[in-house]
Amino acid sequence: MGKLKAIFMIPELRTKILLTLLFLAIYRIGYSIPMPYVDQRIMNKSLGASGGLAQVLNYVSMFSGGDLAHATLFGLGIMPYISASIIFQLLAAVYPPLEKLQKEGESGRKKINEYTRYATVFICLFQAFMYVQYIMNKSGGLGWALELRDSETGVIFQTFNTWYYWLTMIITMTAGTIFLMWLGEQIDEYGIGNGISLIIMAGIVARIPAATGKLFFEGGNFNWSVLTLGGGGGSDVSFEKLVVLIAMFIAVVVAVVAITKAQRRIPTQSAKHVRGRRVFGGTRQFLPIRVNQAGVMPVIFASSLLVLPLFLFRAVASSTEWSWASTLADSFERQGYIYTVCFIALIYVFSYFWTAIMFNPKDMANNLKDYGSFIPGYRPGKRTAEYLERVLMRITYVGAAFLAFIAVIPTLITNTLQIDPLIATFYGGTSLLIVISVALDLVQKINSHLVMRNYPGLTED
């Protein structure tokens, strides 16, 4: 408690934390504002009847900080901005003018951020158009949620299905995402930092009470089967299942912390320099390379990308009589075997892809050479770059395997223990990975403020 008290004894740090909490509170208020013209009750009832579709929309919304399942103001979340940022990072690696801008320092970074904001607007308009088109489609979407009916007779007396309503909803969703982008930048500038990640983390943490309530309560009444050995059946949670869930939760937390902090330390040695009668250099140090170099981004992109086959196969199945399209759509909707295999494959692809962007062995070898350091047993330059690339490929394989295992845990829990997917998602899976990773980064930022002012850090004894 003394260390937590020290946080609020530093005026600058206290102001940053309070502003961050204020911005997150604004995000949660906007998260609950529904889109215009959409009947939330009919939409929730329709999605509840669809089963798998609601599960997929909730799963994607969890990683974007939005709420597609309820058509709210922040329905698209922050994912369009993240997608635009990734696009420009990729272009900077292959497009010389952007690469030149990236190397110009702060001015170049501001210019790239400006381009990223413009790209975010276009991505938002496209995604909002596709989403509004889907919910207005009565045959395969939720078009009946855009009709005003008499509560007694059920007679339709107004339908929101013209270009004006389309345009209003598209602009509303786009404005919501742009406001979220601005909110994240304010957290970066005036708050504790890492605003986009904190918004995603806040969206996940806010869903945990609902998952906990579903675990212990059913129909407004306490579920006594969680305290009974062998109690309940099917999807009911018995005492044994509760113990397994708690054990899985603790194991996943420990594993995520261990892998997130794990490093492959490559020994380096600096060359000796003789100046007069004194010898400088010759010290041995380490080059730390994180095992999970890509973080949680491969899982977020893989889960977002796998939504496209679901809607594609569903559209093909509704417009044709091809049985294979309906079978594949059902497999992706219930996250079956085909979905899981594709999910793991995409996690590996994005892990190597993201690591290749974030870590360049050739540049690292050149930096070591410029600073007069070398890896014992390897000549500076090309041989050092080849060694670093070989090490990076191996540890990335381990990091991707860990991400894939964590990502499929909710599916294993759901299929093996017959646990509700909402519960399994929060108590053993990618959501924990995101929350813990962001929390560790937040603790590190707070520690830097405390140590800079001669206070002991939160993680110091």
SS (H, E, C) 141-200: CCHHHHEEECCCCCCEEEECCCHHHHHHHHHHHHHHHHHHHHHHHHHHHHCCCCHHHHHH
In three-state secondary structure terms, 335 is coil
What is the rounded CA–CA span in Å between residue 418 and residue 241? 9
Residue 225 pLDDT greater than 80, yes or no: no
Q: Write the pLDDT tens digit of every residue in 112-132.
A: 888 889 999 999 998 888 888
What pLDDT shows up at residue 137? 66
Q: What is the DSSP letter of 72?
A: B
Q: Write the pLDDT tens digit of every residue in 374-428.
A: 888 888 888 888 888 888 889 999 888 988 888 888 877 777 777 777 777 776 6
> Judging by DSSP bridges, how do beta strands 147-149 and 263-270 pair with one another?
unpaired
Residue 251 pLDDT greater than 70, yes or no: yes
What is 1-206's CATH number?
Answer: 1.10.3370.10
The larger pLDDT score, comparing residue 213 to residue 394, is at 394
What pLDDT shows up at residue 179? 92
The larger pLDDT score, comparing residue 235 to residue 457, is at 457
What pLDDT shows up at residue 174? 92
Residue extents of the structural domains in the chain: 1-206
Q: Position of tokens 């306490």?
A: 222
- What is the pLDDT confidence band of residue 55, given thresholds at 50, 70 and 90? low
Residue 46 pLDDT greater than 60, yes or no: yes
Q: Write the pLDDT tens digit of every residue in 328-360.
A: 877 776 677 788 888 889 889 888 888 887 788
Q: Position of tokens 């408690």?
A: 1
What's this model's pTM, rounded to 2 decimal places?
Answer: 0.80
Mean pLDDT of 444-457: 75
Residue 141 pLDDT greater than 60, yes or no: no
How far separated are the first and last CA of the chain, in Å rounded?
13
The Cα-based distances of 410 to 275, 414, 419, 426, 447 in angstroms read 62, 6, 9, 8, 33
What pLDDT shows up at residue 121? 92
What is the rounded CA–CA span in Å between residue 273 and residue 83? 48
What pLDDT shows up at residue 355? 85
